[in-house]
Amino acid sequence: MPERAYIAIGSNLGDRRAYLEAGLKEVATLPNTRLAEVSHAYETPPLGPVAQPDFLNAVFAIETSLAPEPLLAALLAAEKKHQRQRRIHWGPRTLDLDLLLYGERVVESAALILPHPHMHERSFVLVPLCEITPDLRHPVTGRPFAEYLAALNGSEAKAVGPLALPALP
């Protein structure tokens, strides 16, 4: 039976919107996977000490029969296909795909932690997540993600409009 998974997507190099749209298409065409919802794109400042351009970020939901680990592997392969280079922690990137939630599952392995351990601290995740699913709750704490967002000291996320959804067969 398919599970609903939430994925954050971002880019701050090159044609950011094109990279986000390409990433959506990559995930939407995975086996046994259907794109369910996509937030607007938001422009946000980068995290960390590295000087770099602002990001475009969004969150999308999929329905998938892929298990979490193979889904993560597919996300990493999509990043690599679109020239993602992991040279600098919190550095610039063409495409960033982060698995945030996979149903209600809690996973702690060497390769994957679910829910994403920092998602509730990041407005660039919470703003688009709450846009598409305002009543969603953290699977461990039970607290609504909208409460986490309200607790942050403002959001620097600026909506820049919808993403083009991939044409699917």
Question: Which residue is listed with tokens 């329905």?
Answer: 63
* Strand 33-38, strand 55-64: pairing: antiparallel
Q: Are 47 and 90 a contacting pair, CB within 8 Å?
A: yes
Distance CA 33, CA 65 (A): 7
Candidate list 15, 93, 137, 143, residue with the active-site label? 93
98 catalytic per annotation: yes
Whether 93 sits among the annotated catalytic residues: the reply is yes
Does residue 84 carry a catalytic annotation?
A: yes
Catalytic site residue from 16, 86, 98, 105: 98
| Residue 34 annotated as catalytic | no
Query: To which H or E segment does residue 41 belong?
Result: strand 41-44
Catalytic residue among 16, 34, 96, 135: 96
Check 84, 105, 122, 135 and give the catalytic one: 84
Residues involved in catalysis:
84, 93, 96, 98
